[in-house]
A and B are shown apart, each in its own frame.
Chain A
Amino acid sequence: MPRTHITTVINGDETEFLTEDSTSLLNALRDEVGLTGAKEGCGTGDCGACSILVDDRVNCSCLMFAPEADGTAIVTVEGLADSGELHPLQQCFLEGAALQCGICTPGFLMAAKALLDKNPDPTETEIRYALAGNLCRCTGYDKIIRAVQEAAREMRGQ
């Protein structure tokens, strides 16, 4: 079966891969590119575990076909830290124990980054609604919300 050649920028590096047209971007990232940080929890866009940034917008990568990534710039959880230095969200998730099993964590980090990039000083309610597309079954969300609040404070220099 002929495969489509895709050129993207992934986590700052120009990246090419081949894919079938019906393959989800999530499966292409995981199987072709080898980036398994984004997870499949549902495959229907309901859990957010596959959240990535595509041209600075948060997307469920399970709902995108891989060819749609052509010409875009993608950030996955693997690209969140800067040369080994953790992003404030990553650091605050660690310090605030905002993860238990950790399967949803990559999606929450990307959704939270998308929020804070647009709104550096969100209220608790704004955070809760911005993250309402991401399911966590372990934490009850309490420590996740607090970690995002703390990261926002740090990123604002407070």
Chain B
Amino acid sequence: MAITEENPGYKWVGTRPIRPDGVEKVTGKARFGADLTLPGMLFGKVVRSPHAHARIVSIDTSAAESMEGVKAVITGADFPDLAANGAHPSEIDVANNAIARDKVLYEGHVVAAVAAITREQAEAAAKAVAVTYEALPHVLTVDEAMADDAPLLHEAMITKGVDPAPEEPSNIASKILHERGDLDQGFGEADEVVEREFTTKPVHQGYIEPHAAVADANSDGRAHIWCSSQGHFQMRAYTATVLGVSPGTLKVTAAEIGGGFGGKTVIYLEPLAVRLSQRAGRPVKLVMDRDEVFRATGPTSGTRIKVKMGVSKDGKITAAEVWMAYEAGAYAGSPVGAAGMTAIACYDIPNFVVEGYDVVCNKPRVAAYRAPGAPMAAFAVESVLDELARTIEMDPIDIRLTNAAVEGTQASYGPKFPRIGFVETLEAIKEHPNYTAELGPNQGRGVAAGFWFNAGMMSSATVHVNENGTATVVTGSPDIGGSRQSMALMAAEELGIPYESIKPIVADTETVGFNDVTGGSRVTLATGAAVVDACRLIVEDLRGRAAKTWDVEVDQVEWVDGQAQHVDGSQPPLSLNDLAAKSGRTGGPISANASLNSRGVGAGFSTQLCDVEVDPETGVTRVVRYLSAQDAGRAISPDYVEGQMQGGVVQGIGWALNEEYIHDTEGVMENPSFLDYRMPVASDLPMIDCAIVEVPNPAHPYGVRGVGEVGIVPPMAAVGNAIRDAVDVRMTELPMSPIKVLEALNENDG
């Protein structure tokens, strides 16, 4: 599609072979979190709070302990009191979220866990754990939580980021602020000003695989954990913290992971499984039910966001004022920080104030979800920008081109952008036939854009050359969407051997160097760079061995197409196969390690075009055509780049039209099932068209930016803008469900 730089003659990078782990995944052999069974293994079950906010008065486990088949029962008292041990507040929150000690802060909060011989015995024992609660008043939204007389979740929480610090505690964990220029002057220069207020509900990542962990503890204090996660090193660290042990006593093996989208970067079951296994002296498997997944994991924040923007007649944004409050759930840590940094990052705006609040409330602790924080902010900002474009009668792409951040623009969050591809994504949309496709009755077209930083962070890789000249590429980044393929493609390119000769694997925490989580769109970027570094060390080694073999200086040896060649052609080439077969005589096994802290990320931009049809009788919105243009930097594995783009868009369509957490007045979730929390299914959707834009990231050997996240930033605004175009109503609440659209239509008529 839209390619801004030619592929510089790559043989493997940018091709579409079959993924290395594919056959296992289409034949049912791949082992996911819940698929492992060990000899003597027990089944565990977690006991959860029915209250949104309550003090735990007592827990009586005696009845459960005496039941048939029950081998262990644990409560918060079975874990070290990190607060008493002077641990960091963030560690205390992780521990208290894993299992409550004195207070439960949301419905579904863990209070105890049991292990028994059969599932049925475990379920019966969990029901027999008698917990006495003293119910406390609760707060469910940012408005309730920020009210002056709101009941407090954490009696000692003083808002951070406010100078001077408030004297009284509140539910506001922190405030963020980004400012530039002079807001009054900016609005004074505007010809048109639009101000709107938006609300969004918590939504879940919705991975199809529930959380699962198997733990096998030894009497020497060591334990082995198999779990489905986005980062087994992270699971090891968090689990060790909660258990109060050294990370070195825990070995974590990454199961295949059935989706995460950020929601599997945190621990839930792992420390419970280890402690149950220690108490029972046998392996223990814990698997969540779907309703536990909804009630106690994920989601991302519900929000309230106000946006005011001004624009001159020629389309230049003169000022922007953004106020946002994000639900953190039970513990501090909503993604409002990232939201504040991304909200207006697509644009070069001279005067702005972006103010945000991280607010705790009695809902499950939020977890990362694909570009955490950015989609809600973009829904608000891109909706207002759409209104401004309509007010001055300017094309929605043109108003974005007029204000687009480019190389050298000082980003709203601070640094100057290096080479970025936002403009190219806008142009790719404009050039695509969808942009001028004919619209039918009740149909409308919307444009929206999004920005995400992409992460770098730490990665390690090891490459082994086998005796037949094939290679094993070892990393510690769980493969959640095809990253083994991108590792193998880059290794094949570097080593000059066929893709099929590379075996990429994801190793456990004791077999490969440290890797940060699979998140932040970072694996192809950072772990990929570690693989490239390790391959280059291998090539250096091989050139040295060839030089020795030929008795020449190493600078006389080049590595071309998988073989050592003498620069003047005076020697018959030595292939990787030849050198591997003789490795014992040229220095021993051929192997290299590389570890890095990423040398530079490449920001990601996406622009999307959505066509909807709205049924004016029912308010049902149907997406009829969709196009996503995204700057991948370089698409190492185009199949899976498109997959990330399409998947992000469809999650966004679900967020836009259907998905929301619904709580009753007592704080109990009313829709904790896939029946009532309705994610998009195949019959809801059209094909999702993709325009991969490639503006290489100069900080990566192949120009990779990372593609996993930014695709979910624009869809809610793109859908909302399309609804506006179709039926002349501006939707300001998510989800834009039929009832809300119908109400808005009726209001317009009235």
Contacts and interface: CB of A to CB of B under 8 A. Distances in A.
Given A95-B18, A100-B480, A142-B688, A86 B682 contact: no
Contacts of B679: 135, 137
Interface in A8-62: 20, 22, 27, 30-31, 34-44, 46-47, 49
Interface residues of A, number: 60
B104 interface: no
B243 interface: no
B682 A94 contact: no
A112 B22 CA distance: 18
Interface string B671-712: 001110001111111011000000000000000000000000
A114 interface: no
A97 B640 contact: yes
A37 B650 contact: no
Interface string A98-116: 0111111110010000000
A137 B206 contact: yes
A69 interface: no
Nearest to B30: A102
Contact of A140 (B34, B120, B650): B650
B582 interface: no
A97 B642 CA distance: 10
Contacts of B256: 101-103
B16 to A, nearest CB: 7
A116 to B, nearest CB: 15
Interface of A is mostly: loop
B482 A100 contact: yes
B25 A102 contact: yes
Given A44-B673, A46-B673, A46-B674, A137 B25 contact: no
Is chain B's interface secondary structure helix, strand, loop, or mixed overall? loop
Contacts of A37: 27-29
B646 A143 contact: yes
Interface residues of B, number: 61
B511 to A, nearest CB: 22
A152 interface: no
Given A49-B208, A100-B480, A132-B682, A39 B32 contact: yes
A44 B481 CA distance: 26
Contacts of A76: 28
A86 B26 contact: yes
Contacts of B260: 101
Given A42-B290, A97-B643, A128 B208 contact: no
B210 interface: yes
A145 B209 CA distance: 21
A94 B259 contact: no
A74 interface: no
A132 B678 CA distance: 12
Given A35-B28, A78-B28, A95-B18, 4 more contacts: A38-B28, A140-B647, A140-B688, A141-B682
27 contacts: A36-B35, A37-B28, A39-B258, A40-B34, A41-B210, A41-B258, A41-B290, A44-B673, A44-B674, A46-B675, A49-B208, A78-B27, A78-B28, A90-B27, A94-B18, A99-B25, A99-B26, A100-B643, A101-B480, A102-B25, A102-B26, A129-B683, A132-B684, A137-B205, A137-B206, A143-B639, A143-B643
